[in-house]
Chains A and B, each alone.
Chain A
């Protein structure tokens, strides 16, 4: 499903060059639930961003579903993100000016030929899956952290992506809420979604099928 070959990422400013990823080779198969662990600054998030096409590698190849993507133009890249990938962020990144259901609908806005009715229907279904169908008209500021993250997951799954990339989804939550979120992700995994999750929490990592450990930009398995 996701294949990274000799992936390198260098962040350079005028004075300093930082090597964030160093020759990473990785293969994640369809339907796998993989966790990524490692100390701060080891390149976990960078790795996830590369997989999610949010950032462009300096060297190497990113393949998603068999097609090379790192050299695509803006538009096909955006389409790929829209159809194949769903993101969950540590700090939720909900749009505060939109209510819950509008937030969840967002990925479908950028998909061609989805009518308003279908959008609404799909968004409500996704919210039901995360158990938030009672709060569709609330605004993000009126929700707790756990609820926000569940909205974010609903947003990630509304477009039926094959891959979900989660960057420390439980990082801002207490353990009780964290495990709630984890249960939702496990549910998704059971339904066949490929999930890559960055986490600090060993207990959560143990629940996944495979754990990739990163240190200083390299995989240390």
Chain B
């Protein structure tokens, strides 16, 4: 039976090539956009080759102090004292706690009069455990090294190649901001969209300064973003609750009465920064969603139009014993086949688009293979498209009298 429908669907597709092209184009394009967007979303929010457990990770990106009347406030990344007081107590309930500079710092070096801009980041030792960097040579720094030998760095491969060429650089020094750093590791490049993992040079936080700031209860260095890798996503609530208790216990700095801080999931973190940056981006996302409905409408509309064309076929099939249900199934099945075909082109299109984006350097993605998850979502979208677009016409059709459809007039 289904083999027969398959044959018929292909025949129908070939018969009205223009209409088929319109349908396939729409589905293919929509799916390309949706798949590309989902892939990028997954890389940023769920998991990527470096941040494998993003979905289990909570991020503290902003601490806000307010006065009683909520008139003035002071807000920014977390400071060492806050981390020690409010985050460290969570240690026993989570896998890792790590902090790093909230934003990359720009550094410039001049190599044979050529300017090289470098994004640098201060990190602690757990930073290397939360994210799985690929070390080409050397190793990351540990707490002992941070304490005793703070002038060490890890750098990314492309930067190493640019400065030193294709040689081993372990133990060599690099001069940054007038200070000499010893290179102890080289890692593969990290794409900038892997927000917390991205930098070109990583170096240890200043241990002495950190300790003294904690001791002095200093609230002035707004510097660090905290990543907390929990054991499971299910423990988010418990961790947040404990954290909120610790925040409530904290005595805010002078002038202020109230402390606000939130542990954000990776999606909250990414989308907040999107919203802050540009309002149009929100509209854009809404647009893409809204407009992915258009090909669906097109397909439905054209299928309905086609029912008129094929009314004789419907009448005959019914006359020879097809039930309403079987007829409805035929239309749904046909549309699912068409959307699947469009879907295959969509998968190819999305893959090419992502490759293109990656190659153009506009957004480095690092990994353009579809994860199983994205594949499943894409397939789900295809199915939903096919079923919905086939269902509405099928519903209309099943209401038809056989006699009328044989006459060919369904007004």
Contact = CB atoms under 8 A, between A and B. Distances in A.
A and B touch in the complex (CB under 8 A): yes
Interface of A: 49, 52, 54-55, 74-75, 78-79, 81-83, 86-87, 89, 93-98, 102, 105-107, 109-111, 116, 155, 159
Interface stretch (B5-13, B137-145, B295-303): B5-13
Contact of B319 (A52, A79, A109, A111): A52
Contacts of B316: 87, 93-95, 106
A78 B406 contact: no
A123 B389 CA distance: 33
Contacts, number: 76
Nearest to A77: B323
Nearest to A78: B323
B319 A81 contact: yes
A111 B3 contact: no
Contact of A54 (B7, B8, B11, B406): B406
Contact of A74 (B4, B8, B323): B323
Given A81-B320, A97-B11, A155-B320, 6 more contacts: A55-B402, A78-B318, A81-B319, A97-B12, A97-B15, A102-B4
A176 to B, nearest CB: 26
Contacts of A116: 3
User: Which 5 pairs of residues, A with B, have the shortest CB-CB distance?
Assistant: A82-B321, A97-B11, A107-B320, A110-B321, A78-B323
A95 B313 contact: yes
A93 B318 CA distance: 12
Interface in B307-335: 312-313, 315-326
Contacts of B322: 78, 109-110
Chain B interface bracket (under 10, 10 to 19, 20 to 34, 35 or more): 20 to 34
Nearest to B330: A109
Interface string B8-46: 100110010000000000000000000000000000000
Interface in B89-143: none
A93 B312 contact: yes
Contact of B324 (A49, A74, A111): A74
B167 interface: no
Contact of B403 (A55, A81, A95, A102): A55
B237 to A, nearest CB: 51
Nearest to A56: B401
B4 A109 contact: yes
B283 interface: no
Contacts of B362: none
A89 B187 CA distance: 77
B408 to A, nearest CB: 9
A105 B7 CA distance: 13
A195 B402 CA distance: 21
Given A81-B319, A82-B321, A87-B319, A49 B403 contact: yes
B321 A79 contact: yes
A84 to B, nearest CB: 10
B96 to A, nearest CB: 60
B238 interface: no
Contacts of B315: 93
A102 B323 contact: no
Contact of B401 (A55, A74, A102, A111): A55
A19 to B, nearest CB: 16
